[in-house]
Amino acid sequence: MLETVFTKCLGIQYPIIQAGMAGGITTPTLVAAVANAGALGTIGAGYLSSAQLRTAIREVRDRTDKPFAVNLFVPKAVTVSEVDIQQMNEYLEPIRRELGISGTCSADGAVDEQRYVFEEQIQVILDEQVPVFSFTFGIPEPHVMQALQRRGVRILGTATTVEEAVALETAGVDCVVVQGSEAGGHRGTFLSHPSRALIGTLALVPQVVDAVSIPVIAAGGIMDGRGLAACLALGAAGVQMGTAFLSCPESGAHPLYQQRVLTSREDETEVTSAYSGKLARGIRTEFMNRMAQYAGTIPEYPVQNQLTQDIRRAAAQQQNAEFMSMWSGQGLRLAKRRAARDVVRETMDQAVAVLERLAGRSDGSPI
Ligand SMILES: Cc1cc2nc3c(=O)[nH]c(=O)nc-3n(C[C@H](O)[C@H](O)[C@H](O)COP(=O)(O)O)c2cc1C
């Protein structure tokens, strides 16, 4: 049912990927439930140490013998001024006080550690013979790509423009995940200016399909079988869904966050670099509103991410959603509380029904 070049390439049943969502959301239970339902589950491992990643992989393997993926952030060299860090800490001070946090947050090590941690994470993927590796924020260096290819790991890279998709194909990825601007979470943009690379899924997918010869996976705003059928019509070989899995009981998202996903509207998300220094789409919060007033320069990722870490953590502990980050796509009204296997099953059933209905109209009767 709905076999595509992508399902064949990865040896999975259905053309659906549960997005890797870093930050504790993609629990081993979620990833394994998706894999057991016939789609591709992904461990969002961007913030995991190599030891934590190894444990997560083994916990997934305890629950499924199906293929699954690990998703990582490609490190980028950034230079951040100490003045910007100091000014940001001063600006965050009243928020810290409100939340009862003492002191400031240091950004020491944030930049240097990235590359080292990434190499260690890759080593775990190789050691543990993870079948699929996906990544965002750039392209890994050739020696990393080659090491993965030599071990037969399937590789998926993220693009937000045609140029990025072509660069990923040239670098040797097996499939390209095309992230439209509807998508929740961080933008994967690495060649364009992030605020210029906000292209909707409907516009971006067919332009990429025309420019590359590898399978294209559409991401951004796909919440059900109508979205899957539409993306197949655009020439995609599969879809990657994030927001649709946030409110599953297996998701590790904070209960308040899950509640906000279930009750927010399509006009309540915004793209912001306030939390991490990298543009990302999330449900609007008081933190975003306050940061919109900031006149200085927000330090680049991962520095800002580290500077706001204590705020996000304290807010979560205090059940204060207004200072947590709640990444989410624009398809919010379509989010439901349902088991991960039902997200996969219902999406598939609906897509097949939609495609059959449309095919049935080939006699010229009105749709
Ligand atoms: C909470 C959340 C966290 C995310 N974290 C990651 C991540 O760690 N790595 C990644 O490649 N994409 C991440 N994304 C983006 C997804 O891969 C995907 O592009 C997006 O979820 C698709 O749009 P949708 O949310 O409308 O389904 C995240 C998305 C969300 C909603």
pLDDT score for 115:
84
Q: How far apart are CA 234 and CA 206, in angstroms?
A: 5
Query: What letter would DSSP give residue 80?
Result: -
Boundaries of domain holding 47: 5-347
| Prediction pTM value | 0.97
Query: Mean per-residue pLDDT for 103-130?
Result: 88
CA 265 to each of CA 330, 334, 348: distance values in angstroms, whole numbers, following the listed order: 8, 9, 25
In a domain? residue 357: no
Indicate if ligand 1 lies below 6 Å from the C-beta of 160.
no
The mean-pLDDT minimum among 7-11, 111-115, 318-322, 337-341 falls in 111-115
Choosing from 186, 208, 324 the residue with most ligand 1 atoms within 8 A of its CB, the one to mutate for a pocket test is 186
Per-residue pLDDT of 222-275, as tens digits, reads 999 999 999 999 999 999 999 999 999 999 999 999 999 999 999 999 999 999
Average pLDDT, the chain: 96
Residue 100 pLDDT greater than 80, yes or no: yes
Cβ neighbors of 266 (< 8 A, separation 6 or more) are: 330, 331, 332, 333
CA of residue 20 to ligand 1 center, whole Å: 6
Work out the pLDDT band at 1, boundaries 50, 70, 90. confident
CA of residue 329 to ligand 1 center, whole Å: 8
Work out the pLDDT band at 110, boundaries 50, 70, 90. confident
In a domain? residue 152: yes
Tokens of 38: 């016939």
Indicate if ligand 1 lies below 6 Å from the C-beta of 190.
no
Query: Mean per-residue pLDDT for 59-79?
Result: 96
pLDDT score for 367:
63
CA of residue 246 to ligand 1 center, whole Å: 10
Q: How far apart are CA 129 and CA 131, in angstroms?
A: 6
Per-residue pLDDT of 252-266, as tens digits, reads 999 999 999 999 999
Of residues 281 and 113, more confidently modeled: 281
Per-residue pLDDT of 33-67, as tens digits, reads 999 999 999 999 999 999 999 999 999 999 999 99
Residue whose CA is closest, atom 14 of ligand 1? 185
Answer yes or no: are the C-beta atoms of 52 and 26 closer than 8 Å.
no
In a domain? residue 359: no
Dihedral over Cα of 208, 210, 215, 218: its sign: positive
Per-residue pLDDT of 168-225, as tens digits, reads 999 999 999 999 999 999 999 999 999 999 999 999 999 999 999 999 999 999 999 9
Query: What letter would DSSP give residue 354?
Result: H
Q: What is the CATH number of the domain that holds 90?
A: 3.20.20.70
Work out the pLDDT band at 310, boundaries 50, 70, 90. very high
pLDDT score for 148:
98
pLDDT score for 14:
98
pLDDT score for 79:
86
pLDDT score for 362:
67
Nearest atom in ligand 1 to 328's CA = 31
In a domain? residue 360: no
Residue whose CA is closest, atom 15 of ligand 1? 185
Residue whose CA is closest, atom 28 of ligand 1? 185
In a domain? residue 355: no
- Total domains present in the chain: 1
